[in-house]
Amino acid sequence: MAQRIPFSTALFYLTLLSALLLTSTAQAASSLIPAPPQVSARSYLVMDADTGHIIAADREDERFAPASLTKMMTSYIVEYEISKGNIAEDDLVLVSEKAWRTGGSRMFIQEGTQVKVGDLLRGVIIQSGNDASVALAEHIAGSERAFADLMNQHARLLGMDDTHFVNATGLPADDHYSSAIDLAKLAKALITRFPDHYAIYSQKYFTYNNIRQPNRNQLLWRDNSVDGIKTGHTDDAGYCLVASAKRDDMRLVSVVMGTDSEEARSRESQKLLAYGFRYYRTHQLYTAGQVLENSKVWAGSRDQIRLGLKEDLAVTVPRGKTDQLEASIELDKVIKGPVAQGQELGKVRVSLGGETVTTVPLVALESVEEGGLFKRIWHAILLFFLGLIG
């Protein structure tokens, strides 16, 4: 005879089941990611600055006139030269007639005067001064044409494969172009390589020669998390903006090229940043130098070696899916001495839901010298009989 379940017990289990179903549904809904927003621009992207992961993009590798976004490379080279000790912010730059006569947006420097490198750098970044850009180019390379060659060399080193510069200003010129992805790479380099100078990009005003000019990046007034980077506009290029913002532990870079107004470039950039911050997060996995594996070394002066990463490893994941991340180590079958510090000995593979997110080299965190003659012979014999070699 079937046993009856008391009504109160049945009601308890039904309530519990409903709660579990609601929780499961809520968790599933929280991890849903909508399609990226519609962006009114010829080309755009939003990228995680720490990982380089492209969250959303369209025509990001197509070549367009960059207008004053060009000055990001001009300022990058100035900051690079300062970091190398080749120039200093207090160095005086003699303003040439060519720099003084350069049209477009200006810092209003005067021919024949001497201006500090630091002031000219702020004139480029904050005031978008074409005159300041030419003055710095001539100071560093001797001429704007030679400086453009230097710009292209740096572009190649940064992997900017769809970029070519012919001037330091971004004024219209044949064969002068860049792409959204290349400008994002440049933005990441500005942020990570020269952090002491990056603060300049968030300054809202700069005064020179008693003329106070505002930064043209309207997002600096609208969003406290935005701290750069550069605007641009010509009739050919349209209205462009490379922006960066940091919230909590996540930094994003957005690029819009070819919008139809100052307001549009700000609005479309805000769309991209809001989408990235709302639905994605940067997850730190390992730090540089962290020991991830201890491995056997054959024919070495020591029998064990510590393995890890050269650089910090972070990945970009949709919010709510961090628990689906998996990391695995693929180690070389045989590690033999000598081993140099930094030598690649395997790979770390990170996957999300079964799909590979990134693969990075696993390297030796220390060096191991070659073992003595007897040890080398003995280990060769052992390896042979273990079937690992031969």
- Annotated binding-site residues read 230
- Annotation says 266 is catalytic: no
- Please give the backbone phi and psi of residue 373, each rounded to the nearest 5 degrees, phi first: -60, -45
Q: Which residues are annotated as a binding site for substrate?
A: 230
Those residues whose C-beta lies under 8 Å from the C-beta of residue 153, and which sit 6 or more positions away, are none
List the one residue out of 135, 133, 123, 131 whose CA is nearest residue 212.
Answer: 123
CA distance 138 to 153: 17
What is the CB neighbour count within 10 angstroms for residue 153? 11
CA distance 129 to 132: 5
- Annotation says 128 is catalytic: yes
Q: Return the sign of the alpha-carbon dihedral for residues 209, 212, 216, 220.
A: positive
Which residue among 68, 96, 105, 254 is the active-site one?
A: 68
Cβ–Cβ under 8 Å, residues 261 and 274:
no
- Please give the backbone phi and psi of residue 332, each rounded to the nearest 5 degrees, phi first: -55, 145
Compute CA distances 62 → 66, 102, 161, 186, whole Å.
11, 29, 11, 16
H or E element that contains 306: strand 304-308
Environment class of 320 (CB within 10 Å of its CB; exposed 0-12, middle 13-18, buried 19+): middle
Which residue among 128, 133, 179, 266 is the active-site one?
A: 128
For helices 144-157 and 71-83, angle between their N-to-C axes, nearest 10 degrees: 80
Which residue among 43, 71, 188, 271 is the active-site one?
A: 71
Active-site residue list = 68, 71, 128
